[in-house]
Structure 1
Amino acid sequence: MFTLLDEFAQAPGLRYLNHAAVGPWPKRAADAVASFAQENVLLGARDYPEWMKVEQRLRERLMRLLNAPSTDDIALVKNTSEALSFVAFGLDWREGDQIVISDEEFPSNRVVWEALKPQGVEVIQVSMASEDPEQALLQACGPRTRLLSISAVQFATGIRLDLDRLGHGCKQRGVLFCVDAIQQLGALPFDVQASQCDFAMADGHKWMCGPEGLGVFYCRAALRPQLKLSEFGWHMLEHMGDYSRREWQPASSARRFECGSPNTLGAMALDASLSLLEEVGMQRVGEALAERVLWLEEGLSTIAGVRLHTARDPQRRAGILSFSIDSMPATQAWPLLMQQQVVCLPRGPGIRFSPHFYTHSQVIEESLQAVARIAAL
């Protein structure tokens, strides 16, 4: 029986509120990597088939985390940007096509679409300042709109969107629906079937508490053959492992997006991290995270000179809470917080706090005290 204190035994005095950037590993992930490293030293790749069983188990965990219909819908990718690029440069665009995004997207979900400009594709950015951002996004989808691509949770302000509503609206309009899930997957329950996602992607190094360099790409089965491939190799073949075969075709599964050797080291760590989320259960993870965000919100609200930028409505947020201090810019306040071992980042209109489900109450209280001291300067 594990305890969260054992799994996340962070350095004394550290107040880690930065999961929206890079999340710490649980102990079991470090143990899995250490064991894998020792196996490589002693045995090399003697037991490679066993490594592939871990990779398959990881696909199954990711399938459950996204509620995908099958592991065939899951590709293991380097990162969110790679998966977005598979969509952007895989679809058959026509001059005059439009893509709708928000005006608060992380560069990964903006630059990749703007890179299609030479093909005559137009990117429409919709303001998130609306009282009904879902309506604003859907209203921007006109007869030339081919795709709506949106972050489930905006990286700076932390606003969470109603994906089910957006997915339903896209289907009514015949628009493809792509979700950058990196700020929700591992923080709150996520369901590609309920939201009718065509594509969804996320890195493992934030709320999933895994390593950098390994993420997930969900592609709806009917759309896989429609994405033109740009990377080719032995691993993406239907008959992978039959090295004598001269005729070849891409795998019918999402493995078609995995051109070469897998990130086995990353798979060991991410599989272990996801095992922890599964043992806790995503419903409990989401509830515990919501409690911690509420503690921070209530505490920050009592500090004179502090303004909140993240929505107060619990349905409009996930694990991100953004705030600013009236007496100084975020770029000045952030180093002062870091000096007090409050790990966070300046993002968008202010400073971004992002706890996780396991964050101890002492970390929250001490972080609030640090903000109060800085606000009083």
Structure 2
Amino acid sequence: MWTQQDTDAAARDLPALRPSDLLHFNSAGCSLPSRRTLSAVQEYYTSEASSGGYETADAQQDALLLPYTALATLLNCRCDEIALVSSATAAWQQVVYGLAWTWKPGDRVLISAAEYGSNCIALLQLARRTGITLEAIPDSPDGDIDVEQLEGMLDTGRLPVLVCLSHVPTSSGRVYDAAAVGAVCRRRGVLYMLDACQSVGQLPVDVQQIGCDFCSGTGRKYLRGPRGSGFLFCRSDALDKFEPACLDNIGASWTGRSQYTLAPGAQRFESYELSFAAKVGLGVAVSQCCELGIAVIWSRIKQLADLLRAGLRELPRVLVCDVGRNLCGLVSFNVESLEAGEVQRLLAEQHINTSVSRTGSSRIDFENRGLSAVVRASVHIYISESQVQQLVAAVAALPLGKGS
């Protein structure tokens, strides 16, 4: 069971660089790193400056291998099924643009109703190029993915070439039933791409149990790693179904004047140039996550998020916008008579960090629910119950908007 001593220890592990009164409720955007992660990044950069970049890489091979082993442990997969890239979007695009080489007019791609904007923009571009059609899987009445509707869509017309799911959407705190989608896709032999950008690091993401073929994620959110770090899981039996969108001397070898050979395993998705300091920092961050235990982290995050939702729901001017049978550490809400961006600004003036998600980030979901924007307050283990209460009190004290 999580104790006050655990909260104090997590808070002490934050770098002492921020204002002491800062309340950071933005882990779903970009979380705060631990001291160990920050030190690892700083020390690597210092070594590059003093010894040289190539020389530092040669000397720190163990640190550069750590993110592969740590992510393999966290995701329950093999090290050679992990690729390190610059972002979750880069990982996602390496797969989807690579698959698109084989797509033909009339092929179908299924997406969740709350699919992320960047993913949808890429798929719309590919629809123009290839003639594919995009279809949104409806939500169930309780806000989860409608598995029965998904099965019906797979039984109707041409079998989809890909199913995409944003595990935790940007627009609310729901957690889609990724494993139920995986079970359907595996039975029907349909490739399945899971965007775990906002789930990995706060809740268990077991790629074996979920059954996804691909899983993309970022370092900067709940994993508390550096910006500019991301990863891709590619199931070994999906590797040879396509080529990555882009290749260089890391992803392939030039084996003849007119010939190249793909790198073995998921390394073929990587590019030579990447922040090696960020790579080292990601390894430390994921290792700390594994050391504490994702089940422990998830239990604490749910506890804090439940407390925050309950507090916000008691406020007469506040609408909590989260939907779904399973909710996570991202809490979305709006305040009557105040635009979401104004709420964010007013809270920032009190040293409270939140973020805003707008229609373009998840257009289908926002339009289905009649929303244009939501404020997002996301908790992590270094947040205390008293800080949750401070946020609720600050929201309660927000002024009325103009014309109210």
Calculate the TM-score normalised by the size of structure 2. 0.85
Aligned 8 A contact 2:175 2:324 in 1: no
**2:138 & 2:221 partners in 1: Cα distance?**
26
* Residue 23 (structure 1) aligns with: 31
Residues 375 and 146 of structure 1, relative CA distance in 2, 3 Å threshold: farther
- Structure 2 gaps of 5+ residues are 1-5, 359-370
* Residue 74 (structure 2) aligns with: 65
* Residue 263 (structure 1) aligns with: 275
Deviations 1:16-58 (A, max 9, x none): 1011111111111111122112222332243433322212111
Deviation of 1:86 after TM superposition, in Å, equals 1.7
**2:276 & 2:42 partners in 1: Cα distance?**
13
Instruction: Select the residue among 115, 119, 131 that pairs with 1:120.
Output: 131
* Residue 14 (structure 1) aligns with: 22
The one-letter code of the counterpart of 1:207 is Y
Deviations 1:185-244 (A, max 9, x none): 0011111111110110011111111112110101111111222234232222369xxx99
Paired residue total = 371
**2:22 & 2:191 partners in 1: Cα distance?**
43
Identity, in percent, stands at: 25
Aligned 8 A contact 1:158 1:310 in 2: yes
**1:323 & 1:42 partners in 2: Cα distance?**
48
Counterpart check, 1:148 vs 2:148: no
* Residue 195 (structure 2) aligns with: 180
SS in structure 1 at match of 2:33: coil
Calculate the TM-score normalised by the size of structure 1. 0.91
**2:209 & 2:28 partners in 1: Cα distance?**
24
Deviation of 1:376 after TM superposition, in Å, equals 6.5
* Residue 87 (structure 2) aligns with: 79
**2:272 & 2:324 partners in 1: Cα distance?**
45
Task: Report the RMSD for the aligned CA atoms in angstroms.
Answer: 2.4
Deviations 1:255-312 (A, max 9, x none): 0111323431111211121222122111100001001101101111211121111137
Instruction: Select the residue among 83, 90, 98 that pairs with 2:98.
Output: 90
Instruction: Select the residue among 223, 226, 243 that pairs with 1:208.
Output: 223
Residues 299 and 262 of structure 1, relative CA distance in 2, 3 Å threshold: same
Aligned 8 A contact 1:151 1:180 in 2: yes
Counterpart check, 1:307 vs 2:319: yes
Aligned 8 A contact 1:66 1:192 in 2: yes
Instruction: Select the residue among 351, 359, 382 that pairs with 1:358.
Output: 382
Aligned 8 A contact 1:151 1:181 in 2: yes
The one-letter code of the counterpart of 1:356 is H
The one-letter code of the counterpart of 1:340 is Q
Deviation of 1:245 after TM superposition, in Å, equals 11
SS in structure 1 at match of 2:193: strand
Deviation of 1:134 after TM superposition, in Å, equals 2.9
**1:174 & 1:246 partners in 2: Cα distance?**
34
SS in structure 1 at match of 2:171: coil
Counterpart check, 1:39 vs 2:47: yes
SS in structure 1 at match of 2:233: strand
SS in structure 1 at match of 2:29: coil
SS in structure 2 at match of 1:374: coil
- With 246-255 and 13-22 compared, the bigger mean Cα shift is at 246-255
Residues 245 and 93 of structure 1, relative CA distance in 2, 3 Å threshold: closer
**2:50 & 2:126 partners in 1: Cα distance?**
48
Deviations 1:140-183 (A, max 9, x none): 33342121101001111121111111100112233211100001
Aligned 8 A contact 2:95 2:244 in 1: no
**1:139 & 1:74 partners in 2: Cα distance?**
33
* Residue 49 (structure 1) aligns with: 58
- Structure 1 gaps of 5+ residues are none
SS in structure 1 at match of 2:319: strand
Instruction: Select the residue among 331, 345, 353 that pairs with 1:335.
Output: 345
The one-letter code of the counterpart of 1:334 is Q
**1:357 & 1:72 partners in 2: Cα distance?**
30
- With 282-291 and 1-10 compared, the bigger mean Cα shift is at 1-10
Deviation of 1:138 after TM superposition, in Å, equals 3.9
